């Protein structure tokens, strides 16, 4: 008997019929003798609907007090899901019970709308499992030390599921989604994209951080930190598929690197169109200038991605960095009103119409000329590179948003990712 965590995305929970199918699938695993903890997302579109209502009432600049209320509102989507799924499981003849994040409890910090999990008390859940029940827990949410409901940010249900699996030392965490695994790139852009049977944790971490929407990055971080075996698979296969076949399907995120992995120089291409660039022109080139610029940005809880500081000219330099497009307006305002004048910048500029395209592969560690091949491919397509960022197993470029799909297709072809790996 194994302890298995199932996570189901919003599309899997999109209607009562789909919820019924989820219940049948969970019941199949429970009847096979496994203990089941299920973490569902809100019904598809529900979180957007709820936050849309709030947006109609709230001003453009969101205060911490409003963010608290946004979490109160958004958390109800998952509350509905767990209740409906528990009823559907009971209709399948199973004992099932649902819990909100605060009832477990899943403890978080107080960063409303993007809280981080601090601890999980699993005693209540274990007691229910020992009594033979399936436990259904809200994804995406928790509770802070002041007993305020918090949410983990978009895609947070993945993080909840992996965190619960880690806390309970589950044998495996199965992430059921609307795709049947991790692909070399988005098949909607490149129809020849190929599903990967396995991908290393490092590669998956890079893919998630660089824009691949299959798994939320924090869930991958959790999986890596606590060595949680993680599998991404489709919720749209027939619910009565053989359980052994289902347990081997999708993409396994593995912690063991083998020779076969190293043979593939590039495993996948990630992209992110939710990026924006800000630039400070004519900044004094002196020690501490980077901190003077980026410190206030970090204090405003704005994540920074790619950073470039140009070569000094006449004691002045230009400083550029990218942020999430959602943070663009507030970041630009901060730079124009406070940071720019403080560091005596000549001008503050912004460009919200950029994107980031990245090649990822553990084989890049042991192969030379990979980045050069990427740059040559983009050059041949007439695509200008604005910024470059590299690590051991990835190279990212910032380019004009309108060239994103062209870049992804060209790179996928150049690295022959449509070919099956040996």
pLDDT, tens digit, 9 for 90 and up, residues 183-205: 999 888 999 999 998 998 888 88
- Let me know: does 82 contact 99? Beta carbons within 8 Å: yes
Other beta carbons within 10 Å of 355: 24
- Domain 3-256 and domain 268-414 have a common topology: no
Distance CA 351, CA 278 (A): 6
Structure tokens at 266: 């590039």
- Let me know: does 22 contact 40? Beta carbons within 8 Å: yes
Superfamily of domain 268-414: VC0802-like (3.30.2130.10)
Distance CA 294, CA 307 (A): 10
Tell me the pLDDT tens digit for each residue of 7-35: 999 999 999 999 999 999 999 999 999 99
Please say if the pLDDT value at position 258 is more than 60.
no
Tell me the pLDDT tens digit for each residue of 154-175: 778 999 999 999 999 999 999 9
DSSP code string of 163-200: HHHHHTT-SEEEEEESSSS-BSS-TTT-TT--B-SEEE
Fold of 3-256: Carbamate kinase (3.40.1160)
Please say if the pLDDT value at position 421 is more than 60.
no
Residue among 6, 74, 78 nearest 38 (CA): 6
Mean pLDDT of the chain: 91
Using the structure block, give the residue that is written with the tokens 């918090």: 150
Please say if the pLDDT value at position 314 is more than 90.
no
Least confident interval from 7-21, 84-98, 263-277: 263-277
Q: What is the pLDDT of residue 39?
A: 97
Q: What is the pLDDT of residue 92?
A: 97
Q: What is the pLDDT of residue 422?
A: 43
DSSP 70: H
- Let me know: does 322 contact 304? Beta carbons within 8 Å: yes
- Let me know: does 292 contact 343? Beta carbons within 8 Å: yes
Residue among 10, 14, 13 nearest 26 (CA): 13
The structural domains of the chain, with segments of one domain joined by +, span 3-256, 268-414
Which H, E and C letters describe 312-324, residue by residue? CECCEEEEEEEEE
- 255 versus 273: the higher-pLDDT residue is 273
């Amino acid at each position: 008997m194994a302890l298995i965590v199932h996570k189901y995305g919003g599309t899997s929970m999109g209607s009562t019929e789909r919820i019924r199918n989820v219940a049948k699938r969970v019941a199949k695993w429970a009847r096979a003798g496994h203990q089941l903890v299920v973490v569902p997302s809100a019904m598809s579109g529900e979180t957007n609907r709820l936050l849309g209502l709030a947006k109609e009432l709230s001003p453009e600049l969101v205060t911490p007090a409003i963010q608290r209320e946004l979490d109160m509102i958004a958390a109800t989507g998952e509350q509905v899901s767990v209740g409906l799924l528990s009823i559907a499981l009971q209709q399948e003849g199973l004992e099932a019970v649902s819990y909100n994040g605060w009832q477990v409890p899943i403890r978080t910090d107080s960063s409303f709308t993007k809280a981080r999990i601090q601890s999980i008390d699993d005693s209540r859940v274990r007691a229910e499992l020992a009594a033979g029940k399936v436990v259904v827990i809200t994804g995406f949410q928790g509770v802070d030390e002041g007993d305020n409901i918090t949410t983990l940010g978009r895609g947070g249900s993945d993080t909840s599921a992996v965190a619960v699996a880690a806390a309970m030392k589950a044998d495996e965490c199965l992430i059921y989604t609307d795709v049947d695994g991790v692909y070399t790139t988005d098949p909607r852009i490149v129809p020849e994209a190929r599903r990967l049977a396995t991908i290393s944790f490092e590669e998956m971490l890079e893919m998630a951080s660089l824009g691949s929407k299959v798994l939320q990055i924090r869930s991958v971080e959790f999986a890596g930190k606590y060595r949680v075996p993680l599998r991404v698979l489709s919720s749209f296969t027939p619910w009565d598929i053989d359980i052994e076949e289902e347990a081997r399907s999708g993409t396994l995120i593995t912690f063991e690197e083998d020779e076969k992995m190293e043979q593939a120089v590039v495993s996948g291409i990630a992209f992110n169109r939710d990026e924006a660039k800000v630039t400070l022109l004519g900044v004094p080139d002196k020690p501490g200038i980077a901190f003077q610029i980026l410190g206030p940005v970090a204090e405003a809880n704005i994540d920074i991605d790619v950073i470039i500081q140009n070569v000094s000219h006449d004691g002045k330099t230009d400083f550029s960095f990218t942020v999430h497009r959602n943070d663009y307006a507030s970041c630009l305002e901060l730079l124009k009103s406070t940071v720019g004048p403080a560091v005596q910048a000549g001008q503050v500029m912004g460009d919200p119409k950029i994107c980031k395209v990245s090649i990822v592969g553990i084989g890049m560690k042991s192969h030379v000329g990979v980045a050069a091949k990427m740059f040559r491919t983009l050059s041949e397509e007439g695509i200008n590179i604005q910024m470059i960022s590299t690590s051991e197993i990835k190279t990212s470029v910032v380019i004009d948003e309108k060239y994103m799909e062209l870049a992804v297709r060209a790179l996928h072809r150049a690295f022959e990712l449509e070919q099956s790996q040996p």
